[in-house]
Amino acid sequence: MAPTRSIAGERVAYVGARLLDPSAGLDAPGGVLTEGEAIIDFGPHVTAGSIPGDAEVVHCNGYCLAPGLVDIRVQLREPGEEHKGTLASGGRAATAGGITSMVCLPNTNPVMDDNSVVEFVARRARLLGLTKVYPYAAVTTGLEGVNLAEMGMLAEAGAVAFTDGVKAIPSARVMRQALLYARTYGLLIVEHAEEPTLAAGGCMNSGELATRLGLVGIPREAEVIIVERDIHLVRMTGGRLHFAHLSTAAAIDAVRQAKRSGIAVTCDTAPPYFAMNENAIGEYRTFAKLSPPLRAEEDRLAVIAGLVDGTIDAIASDHAPEDEDAKRLPFAQAAFGGIGLETLLAVSLELYHNGHLALLDVLRLITCGPAAIMALPAGRLARGARADLTLFDPERAWQVREHELYSKSKNTPFDYRPVQGRVLMTVIDGRRVFALGA
C-alpha cells in the first residue's frame, strides 16, 4: 500500500481495539487518537462516542493495537548491493511486518564508517517515508578490526550505536580501545559474538549432524569465548556493550551471570534461534544457513529460558537478504543469512501461543525493550509522541511463502512454516503505510 500523506491537524481515531502498551503494562479495550504526526490521546476512554466530531474513525474490531515494532538488527544492502535489497524494498517489508523503526548494519558498500554514508542512509530513508531507519556506524574503519572509526563524529552524523556488523572485533586490545572511546561519548558498542579463527571455514553448528552431512562445523564455544572476553573488557573499561543474536546456552548464561554482577551488558536473539534448531537444515537447505548457525535443541531451549527470565533483552529480525545466486549453491558455498522483517511478529508470537510468555512480554521484546537499548524515541504509547502504531490479529493463521513476501530477496528460513499472528495495519507518523489486502 502506498504511503498516505499526513495532513497537518488531521485527526484520526483508532477505536474498538485491544490496546496494548508493554512499557506501561496496559492491556485493555480502548483506542488511540492522533493529530497529524502525533498521538494526542489514548486509553480505555478513547471510544467512538468520545472523540471530536471532525476526526476520521478507524474501527479496529477488537484486534490488538500496539506501538509500532522496533527492530535493531537489519541489513538493508543499500548502498552497494541493491540487487539483494534496497531501503525501499526493506521499508515495504518492514511495514508489512508492523515494524515502524529499525536500525541497519554498516556493512554496506561503501561501509558506514564515514559521515557522508551515514547521512545518505538516514536522508534517503526519510524521503521514502516508510519505516524509520536509524543507522549503525562501524567500530573500525572498513570493518577490518584494526583502526577505530571516528565514533564521536559519526554519532553527530546520526549513528545510534557502533558495530562491525557480521564480524566480531577480533583483537581484545582494539575492543578495549573501542569501549574506552565509546564511554567518553556515552556510546554503545554492539558485538557479533563469534571467535573468527574457530569459526573459519565452518558452515553449520558443530556436532553429530554436521558430521553426518559431511560439513565443517562452527563450535558453540566460538560464541561464548567472545562473550566472556568482552564481559571482562566491559568490567575493565566501564563501557556499554550489547551482544547481538545470541544462540547458545553457554553465552546466555555468561550474560546472565554478568548482569547479576552489575556489568553493563545487554543482548538480543533472533526468531530462528528459539523457533528452529539445526535439524531445519534437512538435506542441505541453504535458506537455513544462518550466522550464527542454527544450534542444537538444548541451545534452542536455553534461548527460550533466557527470554523467559529476562536475560535476553530484545528480539531482532536479523534480516539478511541474499539473492538466488548466493543461496542456490552447495551448502558449504552458499551465503549465510535469512530475511525476517515480515515474520518477526508472527514467529515471536509462538512464545505466547506456546505458553512461554504473556502477550505483553512478547511485545516488550520487540517494542520498548529494543528501543530502550538504542535510546530510540519509539516502542511506547505517549501523548505527544509520534503516531507509530501496528494493528494485528494475534490469532490469524497463515503460512509463510517466499513468493508472497514484500522483501526483494526471498531467502526466508521459515518458508512453508505455519504461523499464527498477522499484521493488519501499520501507521507511521500518523500515515497508514500498510493495510493487509490493500
Mean pLDDT of 114-118: 96
Mean pLDDT of 307-315: 98
For the chain, domain boundaries: 11-65+387-408+418-435, 68-374
User: Three cell numbers at 342?
Assistant: 515480515
| CA 235 and chain centroid, separation | 27
Per the CB < 8 A criterion, the answer to whether 131 and 91 are in contact is yes
Confidence check: pLDDT of 420 > 70: yes
The one-letter amino acid at 26: L
Mean pLDDT of 68-92: 97
User: Three cell numbers at 322?
Assistant: 541474499
User: What are the C-alpha distances in Å from 82 to residues 87, 103, 115?
Assistant: 9, 18, 21
Q: What are phi and psi of 403, to 5 degrees?
A: -75, -10
**Arithmetic mean of pLDDT over the chain:** 96
User: Three cell numbers at 407?
Assistant: 522483501
Per the CB < 8 A criterion, the answer to whether 422 and 346 are in contact is yes
Confidence check: pLDDT of 271 > 90: yes
Confidence check: pLDDT of 361 > 60: yes
User: Three cell numbers at 223?
Assistant: 560464541
Report the pLDDT value the prediction gives residue 77, as an integer from 0 to 100: 97
Pick the CATH number of 68-374 from 3.20.20.140, 3.40.50.720, 3.30.70.270, 3.30.1130.10: 3.20.20.140
As assigned by CATH, the class of the 11-65+387-408+418-435 domain is mainly beta
Question: Pick the catalytic residue: 21, 71, 268, 318?
Answer: 318
Report the pLDDT value the prediction gives residue 9, as an integer from 0 to 100: 67
As beta bridge partners, residue 390 has 66, 426
- For 154-181, the pLDDT digits (tens) are 999 999 999 999 999 999 999 999 999 9
Confidence of residue 52 (pLDDT cuts 50, 70, 90): confident
Report the pLDDT value the prediction gives residue 7, as an integer from 0 to 100: 52
Give the contacts of 44 (CB within 8 A, at least 6 positions apart): 19, 28, 29, 30
Mean pLDDT of 190-210: 98
CA distance linking residue 23 with residue 356, whole number of Å: 19
As beta bridge partners, residue 265 has 241
Report the pLDDT value the prediction gives residue 5, as an integer from 0 to 100: 45
Mean pLDDT of 377-394: 98
Mean pLDDT of 276-285: 97
Report the pLDDT value the prediction gives residue 53, as an integer from 0 to 100: 86
Mean pLDDT of 352-372: 98
Report the pLDDT value the prediction gives residue 1, as an integer from 0 to 100: 40
Mean pLDDT of 358-379: 98
Mean pLDDT of 12-27: 98
Report the pLDDT value the prediction gives residue 6, as an integer from 0 to 100: 47
Angle (CA) 230-246-76 rounded to 5° is: 100
Residues in the chain: 438
Burial (CB count within 10 angstroms: exposed 0-12, middle 13-18, buried 19+), residue 240? buried
- Is 318 part of the annotated catalytic residue set? yes
CA distance linking residue 384 with residue 73, whole number of Å: 27
CA distance linking residue 423 with residue 96, whole number of Å: 7
Mean pLDDT of 243-266: 98
Confidence check: pLDDT of 438 > 90: no
